[in-house]
Amino acid sequence: MSPRILSFIADTTALVIFFTIASGLNERFIAGMAWSDVLVARSVGAVLMVLTARPYGLWRDFLFGKVQPKTRAGEFATDCLSLIAFQVPIYIAIIAVGGASGSGIVRGAAGFAVLMLVLGRPYGMFLEFVRSLFGLTDRGQKPMSLGG
């Protein structure tokens, strides 16, 4: 199987598993959504995660390539920045479609942004772990690359 297909599968698997759990808990306990609304939001979220997981992986790889963090703190900051910039706008759309109210959207987005600060590096490490399970040892196929 080509590295591009493996990268797509690995990035999608990691994002769907990790953020279905994290987002669902945020929606229920921070945004105050009913479980039925969480189910709708996670159903919409799953579709969007399949569409955005690989672009997010490329975005993260791009930022890591530009920043080239040399410390754990730098890796933490780069993972947090990449998640906040990419995922929070998408998350706002997901919970709005899921039925969150105006104030629920604000609380949910704020809670999710805080989650990105807390979960940024753990998710980055989880993504790298899932990629390694697929035999991907670097940070994935780089944007604009010609090979593989």
Q: Is the pLDDT of residue 130 over 50?
A: yes
| Segment 48-95, tens digit of pLDDT | 889 999 999 999 999 999 999 999 999 999 999 999 999 888 888 878
Write out 99-116 in H/E/C secondary structure: CCCHHHHHHHHHHHHHHH
Mean pLDDT computed over 20-28:
88
- Please tell me the pTM assigned to this model: 0.77
Instruction: Note whether 104 and 32 are within 8 A (CB).
Output: yes
Task: Band the pLDDT of 139: cuts 50, 70, 90.
Answer: low
Q: Is the pLDDT of residue 111 over 80?
A: yes
Closest by CA to 98, choosing from 141, 35, 143, 55, is 35
Q: Per the structure block, which two tokens stand in for 85?
A: 């910039």
Tell me the three state secondary structure of residue 134. coil
Instruction: Note whether 41 and 33 are within 8 A (CB).
Output: yes
Contacts of 107 (CB under 8 A, 6+ apart): 30, 31, 32
pLDDT at 140: 44
CA 79, CA 64: separation in Å to the nearest integer?
8
Task: Band the pLDDT of 45: cuts 50, 70, 90.
Answer: confident
Instruction: Note whether 114 and 107 are within 8 A (CB).
Output: no
